[in-house]
Structure 1
Amino acid sequence: MKTLPPGQRRVDGFPRFGTHLQQPPPPVPDDPVIAISGVVREPVEVRLGELSALPHREVLADFHCVAGWTATDLRWEGVRFADFYRRFVEPALEPGVTVTHLVFEGLDGAASVVELQDALADDVMLAQRLNGRPLDGNHGAPIRLVSPAQYGYMSIKHLCAVEVCSALPAHRLGTKIFDRLLEGHPRARVWQEERHGRIAGRLVRPFYRALIGPIRRLSAKGAQGE
């Protein structure tokens, strides 16, 4: 039997989790783009059709939610984020700048702050297909970030923007009490159980698992029909 990371339990299927779960997924724009901003000479917009110029990639990987469930053997198809970065981001950078973090933002308003070294890992993808089918709204249409070695909150769905940063972007970090309770770890590495930014992973497992039931019910209300 497959060994799962510490504190994870296998689930059947692939639940819809994320923000605004009581609402339907955001509509797909007629002409989807990924906007690149931050420490670049000028903002850039990459249309999804332009990704066809990059090598196609398939990754078979498990998806680990910070709440403690794992969906196993998901087959993602798309392009490596590292290839996207070198083709579209690096040429746009301000001269002499050192990139440390990237902010990924989705059409649903969700965002994650990822260290550059983690984003450029070989298995991190911009995925457009899941298990042989185009992504649906529940799982991030038209394109999403997939970072298998990190908890799912890093893998932003409905990706529409990447902000390139030369330091930790403090303006992107939450300041409300709820944000502190669910404060994500800056690396969020699953095998190190980096669930929370201030509390050891094994100590917060019960708290996160208690959220699974309510989140499932909200998810069902906003799920897109198959």
Structure 2
Amino acid sequence: MTLPPGQHPIDGFPRFGGHLSRPAPAVPTDPVIEIRGVVTEAFDVPLGTLATLPRRELIADFHCVAGWSATDLRWEGVSFETVYRTLIEPALPPETPVTHVVFRGLDGWRSVVSIEDALADDVLIAERLDGRPLDGDHGAPARLVSPSQYGYVSTKHLCRIEVHSAEPKGTHASVLRQLPLRLLSAHPRARVWREERHRYLPPWSVRRVYRATIAPIAYLSGRGGRGARNPPRPR
């Protein structure tokens, strides 16, 4: 097994992230994904509409910026490129450039992704994981999955997609803003094979610091989820 630099495989796929001990947000009775930004007119996409688009299955690893990797996860959904080309691009004013996409979740999480990265072949809006509908721990009712980027890009509980003609102010709604670790600034592209963990510092200098956050974040995340509270452990 070959993993990106600085990553270590673990067993399972724990709940982990900036929600800390908060439980997963309630799923609306009729969930939609709001489409906003530079489109001609804002509109909503009922989640059921995704089922009418070509389906995609993707087996991929999930790489957390803290240094652990959950391997061989099987996601099912619709490629973001299909959603963009079919639903969003036709709603843009003529000759309107799109440079960035913002993905927002029901839990308040926000990730900013360049259009180049968002349209990559392995980026998915997923509704199923390992043959089952997503549960609250992993992003119900739908989430972004971008395996070539660190996990903080893959917004869970997806409820809004915004398209922009310039990079929005601010980047990811990072867990680091909720902890006394503000010097750890998230990298805007977060490409795992380039080890883009930090906006300014070289990756080797932040590996240990990020790794030190695993146990407390995992414990707090577990308190709000359905799974065990133990931190991710290497195989």
| TM-score, length of structure 1 as denominator length | 0.95
**1:184·1:197 contact (CA, 8 Å) conserved in 2?**
yes
Structure 2 CA distance for aligned equivalents of residues 52 and 161 of structure 1: 17
**1:67·1:211 contact (CA, 8 Å) conserved in 2?**
yes
**2:127·2:134 contact (CA, 8 Å) conserved in 1?**
yes
**2:22·2:224 contact (CA, 8 Å) conserved in 1?**
yes
Letter in 2 for 1:213: A
Residue 74 of structure 1: SS of its match in structure 2?
strand
Structure 2 CA distance for aligned equivalents of residues 188 and 112 of structure 1: 11
Mark the CA change 1:192 to 1:38 in structure 2 (over 3 Å): closer, same or farther.
same
The alpha-carbon deviation at position 52 of structure 1 amounts to 1.5
Alpha-carbon displacement from aligned partner over 1:107-149 (angstroms, at most 9, x marks no partner)? 0000000000101011100000000110000000000000000
Alignment RMSD, CA only? 1.8
Residue 20 of structure 2: SS of its match in structure 1?
coil
Structure 1 CA distance for aligned equivalents of residues 155 and 110 of structure 2: 7
The aligned residue for residue 108 of structure 2 is: 109
Structure 1 residue runs of 5 or longer lacking an equivalent are none
The aligned residue for residue 131 of structure 1 is: 130
Structure 2 CA distance for aligned equivalents of residues 15 and 173 of structure 1: 21
Alpha-carbon displacement from aligned partner over 1:173-219 (angstroms, at most 9, x marks no partner)? 67x79685232111100010000111111111001000000011101
Letter in 2 for 1:66: V
Residue 51 of structure 2: SS of its match in structure 1?
helix
Structure 2 CA distance for aligned equivalents of residues 209 and 54 of structure 1: 39
The alpha-carbon deviation at position 85 of structure 1 amounts to 0.4
1:205 to 204, 207, 217: 207
Alpha-carbon displacement from aligned partner over 1:84-113 (angstroms, at most 9, x marks no partner)? 001111011122210000000000000000
**1:16·1:219 contact (CA, 8 Å) conserved in 2?**
yes
Letter in 1 for 2:5: P
Is residue 224 of structure 1 aligned with residue 226 of structure 2? yes
Letter in 2 for 1:98: P
The aligned residue for residue 36 of structure 1 is: 35
**2:14·2:227 contact (CA, 8 Å) conserved in 1?**
no
Percent identity (aligned): 62
Residue 129 of structure 1: SS of its match in structure 2?
strand
The alpha-carbon deviation at position 54 of structure 1 amounts to 0.9
Residue 193 of structure 2: SS of its match in structure 1?
coil
**1:19·1:108 contact (CA, 8 Å) conserved in 2?**
no
Mark the CA change 1:125 to 1:9 in structure 2 (over 3 Å): closer, same or farther.
same
Deviates more, 1:20-29 or 1:99-108: 20-29
The aligned residue for residue 154 of structure 2 is: 155
Between the two proteins, the alignment pairs up a number of residues equal to 225
Mark the CA change 1:62 to 1:172 in structure 2 (over 3 Å): closer, same or farther.
closer
**1:193·1:202 contact (CA, 8 Å) conserved in 2?**
no
Structure 1 CA distance for aligned equivalents of residues 227 and 111 of structure 2: 27
Superposition pairs for residues 1-226 of structure 1, below 5 Å? 2-171=1-170, 180-224=182-226
Residue 216 of structure 1: SS of its match in structure 2?
helix
**1:35·1:162 contact (CA, 8 Å) conserved in 2?**
yes
Residue 53 of structure 1: SS of its match in structure 2?
coil
